[in-house]
């Protein structure tokens, strides 16, 4: 078998790891290669035969398909949280040696980094992924993204095969020139304003609902009192009618007697 190695990219930094050992572990919990942003779980990469196994942690995607375990072919791309793994051939005779981590220059960023930074003074992986997702969504919304890419990812949402990070990468790669369009900045500002005011608007809507509820409650009380008064009046009328018909007695006699007393 041709000796193989993996190209490992984490937070924009790419390294190569020769698959000389039976398994190389990425992630947390004593893994040989720690992955920033992954607090638990590991990704195991086996050399014979080459395969990848998810042992907890973020979801695993191999060539765009969500899996927990899958074989690796030359050129296969595995994405596990912030880590990207690509299987490569060394093209050299296999020799016994310890795994070597070779530092390579960091890949240039596709676009300027956002102003937000973490405590160490660098942009966090989660912040980069979030901004990529939002920018890709704005490009599609404004009709600036590649039409074929946009339609394909819209279909994936309908089919339930949605991957936010993969969509963001493809949209941004195929629509690189569109990110400078002034409509993106203007729409981003309006979206930011709406998000900032969302809590306030929710509070206003709650206050309006409370006022409407109080008004409905007051109207219900008035209607209930009116119905009760009407019922009492009908009962008194029925009693007076019965007294008049059965015993030839009416309230008028009481009124006449009362008037006679005061005369």
Over the stretch 105-142, which tens digit does the pLDDT of each residue have? 554 444 544 444 444 444 567 888 888 888 888 888 88
CB distance 66 to 78 below 8 Å: no
Collapse the DSSP code of 110 into the 3-class scheme (helix H, G, I; strand E, B; otherwise coil) and give the result. Answer: coil
* Alpha-carbon dihedral 203, 204, 208, 209, rounded to 10 degrees: -30
* The pLDDT value given to residue 85: 84
140-167 per-position pLDDT tens digit: 888 888 888 888 888 888 888 888 889 9
Say whether pLDDT at 195 is over 50.
yes
| Lowest mean pLDDT, pick from 30-34, 44-48, 122-126, 223-227 | 122-126
CB distance 71 to 26 below 8 Å: no
Collapse the DSSP code of 37 into the 3-class scheme (helix H, G, I; strand E, B; otherwise coil) and give the result. Answer: coil
Q: What is the CATH number of the domain that holds 41?
A: 2.60.200.20
Residue 74 counted as domain residue: yes
Say whether pLDDT at 204 is over 50.
yes
Same domain, yes or no: 129 and 69? no
Same domain, yes or no: 32 and 84? yes
Same domain, yes or no: 94 and 144? no
Residue 31 counted as domain residue: yes
45-91 per-position pLDDT tens digit: 887 788 888 988 889 898 888 999 988 888 888 888 888 888 776 55
* The pLDDT value given to residue 1: 46
CB distance 179 to 109 below 8 Å: no
167-186 per-position pLDDT tens digit: 988 888 888 777 778 888 88
> What is the pLDDT confidence band of residue 94, given thresholds at 50, 70 and 90?
very low
Rounded CA gap, 196 and 98, in Å?
A: 53
CB distance 44 to 29 below 8 Å: no
Residue 65 pairs in a beta bridge with 62
* The pLDDT value given to residue 249: 72
Question: What mean pLDDT is reported for the chain?
Answer: 77
More confident residue, 127 or 261: 127
Same domain, yes or no: 10 and 57? yes
pTM for this prediction: 0.34
The two beta strands, 65-67 and 83-89, are unpaired
DSSP summary character for residue 185: H
Same domain, yes or no: 73 and 19? yes
Cα 124 vs. chain centroid, distance in angstroms?
18
Mean pLDDT of 232-245: 83
Give the chain's domain count. 2
DSSP summary character for residue 114: P
Collapse the DSSP code of 135 into the 3-class scheme (helix H, G, I; strand E, B; otherwise coil) and give the result. Answer: helix
- The percentage of the chain sitting over the pLDDT mark of 90, rounded to a whole number, equals 1
Same domain, yes or no: 19 and 99? yes
Residue 220 counted as domain residue: no
Range of the domain at 53: 4-103
Cα 90 vs. chain centroid, distance in angstroms?
40
Residue 114 CB contacts under 8 Å (≥ 6 apart), including other chains: 123, 127, 128, 131
Residue 92 pairs in a beta bridge with none
């Amino acid at each position: 078998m041709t000796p193989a190695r993996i190209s490992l990219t984490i937070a924009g930094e790419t390294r190569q790891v020769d698959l000389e050992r039976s398994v190389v572990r990425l992630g947390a919990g004593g893994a040989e290669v720690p992955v920033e942003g992954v607090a638990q779980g590991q990704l195991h990469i086996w050399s014979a035969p080459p395969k990848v196994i998810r042992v907890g942690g973020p979801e695993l995607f191999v060539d765009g398909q969500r899996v927990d375990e899958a074989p690796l072919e030359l050129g296969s791309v595995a994405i596990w949280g912030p880590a990207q793994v690509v299987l490569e051939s060394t093209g050299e005779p296999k020799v016994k040696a310890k795994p070597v981590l070779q530092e390579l220059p960091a890949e240039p960023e596709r676009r300027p980094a956002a102003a937000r930074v973490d405590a160490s003074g660098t942009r966090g992986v989660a912040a980069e992924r979030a901004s990529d997702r939002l920018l890709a969504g704005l490009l599609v919304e404004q009709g600036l993204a590649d039409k074929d890419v946009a339609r394909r990812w819209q279909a994936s949402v309908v089919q339930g095969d949605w991957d936010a990070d993969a969509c963001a990468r493809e949209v941004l790669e195929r629509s690189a020139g569109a990110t400078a369009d002034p409509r993106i900045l203007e729409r981003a500002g309006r979206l930011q304003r709406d998000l900032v005011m969302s809590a306030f608007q929710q509070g206003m809507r709650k206050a309006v609902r409370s006022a409407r509820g109080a008004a409905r409650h007051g109207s219900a009380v008035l209607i209930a009192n009116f119905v009760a008064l009407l019922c009492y009046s009908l009962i008194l009328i029925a009693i007076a009618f019965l007294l008049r018909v059965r015993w030839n007695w009416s309230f008028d006699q009481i009124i006449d007697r009362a008037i006679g007393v005061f005369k």
